[in-house]
Structure 1
Amino acid sequence: MGHGGDVIDELTTDHREVADYFGQFHRAPPGSHDRKRLLDRLTVELVRHSVAEEQHLYPAVREHLPNGGKIADKELADHAQVEQMLKELEGMEPRDPAFDPTVRALQREVIAHIHDEESTLFVRMRRDCGEDTLWDLGEKVRTAKKTSPTRPHPGTPSTPPANRLVDPGIGMVDRARDLLTGRGR
């Protein structure tokens, strides 16, 4: 899918890609290597998306929206839960009895988060942020995704400024590991 536009367009495109990966996962034969490959690809996309939101979207939510701090804190808590599930899945193989139920739980959590962002948060962002702000955030999110980690790292900072300092270094290590192992292709 094409990326570009303001932050809402960018993140909505990510959401569609994530939903597509879940669909591909469920169409792959249970216990197959294809399921692990698709979960790896899904993980890469979810982590990159989450890191970019944590670095740029949620600070803007705090700044521009009424009760923005409360909203951002809820979104960060959602991300922490998803990241923990991704970490659990990272150590599982497709034939593990807990693998498919954990992916289904992950999907429920992610789809609920997507629905909440698209039906509430993005509507409020369009209403309360200027067009220039939304376009600037879109560029920042795209840039952040290029250097962000590709694997879950629960316990690393999820708010600026610490995440903006730590994430690119972790991302470089993750991408080197991915290159060596072929993960995420």
Structure 2
Amino acid sequence: MDALTFLRQDHKSVLGMLEVLKDAPTGPGAQASGLSTMVTNLIIAESQHEAIEQQLFWPAVRQAVENGDTLADTAIEQEQAGKELLQRLEDGKPGEPDYQEALQQFVVEAREHIAYEQDVVWPQVEAAMSREALESLGEKLEAAKKIAPTRPHPDTPPNPAVLNTMGMATAMVDHVRDAVSGRAADNPPDPQIH
């Protein structure tokens, strides 16, 4: 599958979650609502997605697209802000004011980021990269996602070299933590929302 088709599927899944979460319950009802499970699914999906983009997609954009550095820098700045919001969700509990604020802010910013990628970046990538290059990149993204971190790690530098080394160790720790805590069983990878 080519890179843009692969990323579009991820975006579709996340947009489905954002649609549900935009009207998330607040206050005491938030804890009983199952909000925590849905947000954990979002954290996992987004953490994996952003990690593989920063590891593989944005370096490809920098190399292939004429203004690729500017496009990638803007996107990575947005992604880093998103990771900080996801970390607030990871650290908080449904119903807490900071949790609810971070969730609503993430819903808005994630939609804006997805629109930026799809409307601004992808047409330029499609014009600059061959079908073969997009297919090859798609295969790499798909393989990387299976072993990507499942938590946001906003303090990890969004540098491909760092992500290829430290990011792999971090991802292994995430997967072990998920297995031990039961998070992996409660939140299966790639939740498909249609």
TM-score, normalised relative to structure 2? 0.88
Tell me if the contact between 1:93 and 1:99 (Cα under 8 Å) persists in the aligned partners.
yes
2:135 partner SS: helix
Q: 1:29 to 1:104 in 2, by over 3 A?
A: closer
Tell me if the contact between 2:14 and 2:45 (Cα under 8 Å) persists in the aligned partners.
yes
Which residue in 1 is equivalent to 2:109?
A: 109
Which residue in 2 is equivalent to 1:90?
A: 90
> Matched residues in 2 for 1:122 and 1:26: separation?
26
Q: What's the CA shift for 1:101?
A: 2.2
Whether 1:19 aligns to 2:15 is yes
Which residue in 2 is equivalent to 1:54?
A: 54
Which residue in 1 is equivalent to 2:151?
A: 151
Q: What's the CA shift for 1:70?
A: 1.4
Pairing 1:163-174 to 2, within 5 Å after superposition: 163-174=163-174
> Matched residues in 2 for 1:180 and 1:20: separation?
28
Tell me if the contact between 2:86 and 2:152 (Cα under 8 Å) persists in the aligned partners.
yes
Q: What's the CA shift for 1:54?
A: 0.5
Q: What's the CA shift for 1:153?
A: 0.8
Tell me if the contact between 2:31 and 2:93 (Cα under 8 Å) persists in the aligned partners.
no
> Matched residues in 2 for 1:61 and 1:26: separation?
31
Amino acid at match of 2:165: L
Q: What's the CA shift for 1:114?
A: 0.3
Unaligned stretches of 5+ residues in structure 2: 188-194
Amino acid at match of 1:20: G
1:9-60 Cα offsets, whole Å, 9 max, x none, are: 0001000100111233356644135111111110000010001101111001
Which residue in 1 is equivalent to 2:180?
A: 180
Q: What's the CA shift for 1:89?
A: 1.4
Which residue in 2 is equivalent to 1:42?
A: 42
1:123-150 Cα offsets, whole Å, 9 max, x none, are: 1111111001100110111111111110
TM-score, normalised relative to structure 1? 0.92
Tell me if the contact between 1:147 and 1:167 (Cα under 8 Å) persists in the aligned partners.
no
Which residue in 2 is equivalent to 1:63?
A: 63
Aligned length: 181
Which residue in 1 is equivalent to 2:139?
A: 139
Amino acid at match of 1:32: Q
**More divergent stretch after superposition (42-51 vs 90-99):** 90-99
Q: 1:56 to 1:13 in 2, by over 3 A?
A: same
Q: What's the CA shift for 1:119?
A: 0.8
Amino acid at match of 1:152: P
Tell me if the contact between 2:55 and 2:160 (Cα under 8 Å) persists in the aligned partners.
yes
Which residue in 2 is equivalent to 1:6?
A: 2
> Matched residues in 1 for 2:25 and 2:158: separation?
35
Unaligned stretches of 5+ residues in structure 1: none
> Matched residues in 1 for 2:23 and 2:104: separation?
13
Percent identical among aligned pairs is 29
